[in-house]
Each structure stands twice: as structure tokens, then as C-alpha cells.
Chain A
């Protein structure tokens, strides 16, 4: 869909970006690791509360700069492709 812009038109759409608090990835104690089993179903993308997972092609990718390691993605993955690995 083409992005139509008239001078006065303005729309409430936003994209994931760095928050006022800066990079938040250092909060993490466990990190999600995506294995080859990923089928690119978008479930992790839909559930991620921080918008840090994106699906490129058929593979989920985690943005570790902002991922806080909550584990929601690993829990909702229908094929158990995401495992939570300790940071230490």
C-alpha cells in the first residue's frame, strides 16, 4: 500500500526504536536463542512485549540490544524453536 501524504495528513503509526531509557538489553539474565527448527510463523513477533523480535524470511531474529529476556517468545513458540540460555 502506498503511503499517501498530504500536507496536513499525519497518522498514529510508530516503529520500534530506542527508548528514553537507552539500551535495555543489559537487564537480561537469560537470552532467547533461535534454533533451525524455526518455521517463521510470527508468533514470537506478535507476543514480544518489547518489539525486539522480527521475522526475516523464515527465521526469527532477536535484537539483543533491547531484549530483556522475559521468555515470552520461548513459551509461545509452537515448535519449541526458542530456548532460553543463561547469560553467564
Chain B
């Protein structure tokens, strides 16, 4: 069924279709409409899910983790400061090997307050031991959320998974979304499997003190499980085509006009589509450029990236996130994977709008620079209309 819905509505529908048992949730802009939608579904009697309102994001993940280890399919969603407040419990969920699905509607992190889009909050959870995928459209947000339940509950994985989507840009924009039927999703997601269930009968307990060697072994097992999940992800993706033949999830990441390209652009998330249009325009003018969209941050698709980008003359990586004092996280990951000449661009932070004109400008400048052999490391890009911004403070005279 095709329906015009926003990214947040798409996620709520995915949660409904996956027959989630418990949703532990706390509202934060721009994720709020996911829980509003779920609460309305509950009020209308469309879902039997327990929608648990808690007092903070820390508790939201606590409720979700508690439900998950007692054998129930559990979901939560958050954003920005909420994700950071949840940080501790995110590590507990990963270390507990509890299959959980979380959607992150990305947003800039304060101070100062800013509710607009930026991926730094999402990218800052890279080390926690979750599988991390990032959507580029409301359709992909729905698809990845449904797939996430199956991936995280696979015996080869047993690791929680988060799905990112650009706040407001995807979460609040309505587009055509293809929604699979309940029967199809029921067949797609098997009954919940998990490594252990907290049960008074068996006296099993979790979260106890681990001796150093056991602790290290557990860390390694999470690392191995995330690497093994690459196979599971492509397997699940191929099977998902039965539900929606219009999508392509055969690979972890997506390449666009890359086969014959000399120059490659790497992006992640919603602005990839603007970048694709810029690539098209450059192709029309005879510039040999292609695009590679990162869909999975963890596991990192190293082999796929080397295969697709290893032979390129130069690579341009767009980051909508920063590791302050260093560079964009995606740029650093790419740099660690490839030996090609590379340039990083940090742009679009805190909701600064990046259109196809801006992409066109940056990419064509990058092609010129690399032809002249003067690629510089990292650039902070401000679109033309905001170039004159100056920060003034009351104490600037000091």
C-alpha cells in the first residue's frame, strides 16, 4: 500500500507491523511524533503494545532493556540530548547482548540550544556496540526499522540496532511510502529469539561483576558478532525485496554512477539525494564523478568500500557531524579504510541548509583541486548566503 506519510509516521507503522511488545519512551524534538503516533494507535486499539511513559531517556532505555531481557520485543526512539542522557544505558543494552531496536531522529547537541538537524549525536554512539544504520528517506526509515528487528534477533548477531534518520528533514517531511502488509511482515520477522531470558525458575542473572579475562572475552564477542552481522544484513536485505520490490538492500552501502567514475563523493543520510542531483549535473558537463552512500556505520563495510572506491583518483567525504579538534567521523573512518587522496568537508551543522547548488560548488572545486594536486585535509563549508555570519559576544572586547 502506498501512503503519503512522514518519516516518524513510517517508523511508528514499522513498530506496529513488527508487533512490538513494549515501547519505553520519552518525547524529544524531533522524535516526538513517533510516540504520539504510537500512543494514538494504542488509544484506537490498533496495537496491543505497552506504551510506557517514563521520566527521562535514561529510564526509557532502562524500561526497553528490562522488557527485552525478559523476552519481549522492545523499541524506543530518541534524539540529541536525549540520546546523550541515554548513553549509559545504551552501553548496558549492548553489553547485555539484548536485541533492541532504537530510532534516532538526529539533531544538533547543545549548548547552545539548537533543534535542527546534525548527525553528531548519532555518530557519537559509534563505540557502544550497537549496529548502526542510517536512512536517507522515510521509505528507508520504515524498511530499516522492520529489518532491524530481524537482524538484531538473529542468533548470529544478538546485538541491539539503531536506525538513524535526519531530524525534521526526514522525520517531518511527508512523501510517498510503500507499506508492506501485516501478513508479509509477520512472515518476514520470525518469533523473537534471544540468547537468554531473565526468569526466576532458572536463577539466571545479568549485570554481575565479570573477571577481567571474561570481560575482555565478552567485548570481543560483541565485536565478532557485529562483524558477522554483515552477512545477516545482506541476507535480510535480499529477502526484504519480497516485501517491497522497489527497494535495493543487496549491499550494505549504496553506490551511484561509480563504476566508471574517476572521482567519488561519500555521503550519508538525506542530503545524499541532493548530492546525487549535483553529481548528475556534473556528469552532464563531462565531469567523471560518482557517489557512494554510507548506509551502515557499524558494521563498517570495509571490503565493500575498498571494492567500490579503492581505484578512484580522489575521494570527497561529506560529514554532517564533527569530532571537534580533529575532523568529521565519516572522513576519519574512510581515511582509515583507503589510501586514496582524500578531502573532508564538514557542512550542514545545526540545520544549515545544503542544496544541490552547494554540493555542485563543493564537488566541482574538489575536482579542480585534485587535478591540480592540492587537496587539503578538512574544510568547513558555509553556503554562500551565510558566509558573512560573525559571532559577536557581549564581552568580545576582552
- Which residues of chain A have a CB within 8 Å of any CB of chain B? 1, 3-4, 6, 8-16, 42, 45-46, 51, 54-55
Chain B residues contacting A45 (CB-CB under 8 Å) are 200
- Residue B218 interfacial (CB < 8 Å): yes
Residues B186-220 near A (CB distance < 8 A): 193-197, 200, 203-208, 210, 217-218, 220
Closest CB-CB distance, A59 to chain B, in whole Å? 14
- Cross-interface CB contact of A10 among B96, B193, B217, cutoff 8 Å: B217
| A1 and B196 contacting across the interface, CB-CB below 8 Å | yes
Please determine whether A6 and B155 come into contact, CB atoms closer than 8 angstroms.
Answer: yes
B158 to chain A: closest residue by CB: A9
Please tell me which one of the listed residues B95, B193, B197, B224 contacts residue A8 in the complex, with CB atoms under 8 A apart.
B224
CA distance A13 to B221 in the complex (A): 14
Instruction: Name the distance in Å between A77's Cβ and chain B's nearest Cβ.
Output: 15
* B225 sits at the interface (CB 8 A): yes
20 further contact pairs, Cβ within 8 A, besides A6-B155, A13-B196 = A1-B71, A3-B195, A4-B193, A4-B195, A6-B156, A8-B221, A8-B224, A8-B228, A9-B158, A11-B158, A11-B218, A11-B221, A12-B206, A13-B204, A13-B205, A14-B204, A14-B205, A15-B205, A42-B200, A51-B205
Q: What separation, in Å, do the CA atoms of A59 and B84 have in the docked complex?
A: 45
**Chain B, residue nearest A15 (CB):** B203
Closest 5 CB pairs of A and B: A10-B221, A8-B224, A4-B155, A11-B195, A14-B208
- Is B225 within 8 A of A8, CB to CB? yes
B152 CB, min distance to chain A CBs, angstroms: 14
> Bound complex: CA of A46 vs CA of B153, how far in Å?
27
| A1-B71, A3-B196, A55-B200 known; A10 vs B208 contact (CB < 8 Å) | no
Asked whether B73 is an interface residue with its Cβ less than 8 Å from the other chain, the reply is no
Closest to A14 in B: B208
Residues in chain B within 8 A of chain A (CB atoms) = 71, 95-97, 155-156, 158, 193-197, 200, 203-208, 210, 217-218, 220-221, 224-225, 228
In the docked arrangement, what's the CA distance between A11 and B99, Å? 12
In this complex, the member of A3, A8, A12, A51 whose beta carbon has the largest number of chain B beta carbons within 10 angstroms is: A12
Minimum distance in angstroms from A20 CB to a CB of chain B: 10
* A residues in contact with B220, CB < 8 Å: 8, 10
Contacts of B196 in A (CB 8 A): 1, 3, 11, 13
On whether the beta carbons of B204 and A51 are closer than 8 Å, the reply is no
Residue of B nearest to A4 (CB): B155
A10 cross-chain contacts in B, Cβ below 8 A = 217-218, 220-221
**Given A6-B156, A46-B200, A12 and B207 contact (CB-CB distance below 8 Å):** yes
Complex: how many Å from CA A55 to CA B199?
A: 12
How distant is the Cα of A78 from the Cα of B41 in the complex, in angstroms?
38
Can you spell out 6 A-B residue pairs with CB atoms less than 8 angstroms apart?
A1-B194, A12-B96, A14-B204, A15-B203, A15-B205, A42-B200
Q: Which residues of B contact A46 (CB under 8 A)?
A: 200
A3 to B196, CA, bound (A): 7
Measured CB to CB, the closest approach of chain A to B389, in angstroms, equals 49
Nearest-neighbour CB distance to chain A for B344, whole angstroms, equals 34
Roughly how many angstroms separate A84 CA and B156 CA in the complex, as a whole number? 48
- The contact of A12 among B95, B156, B194, B200, by CB within 8 Å, is B95
Q: How far is the CB of B96 from chain A (nearest CB, A)?
A: 6
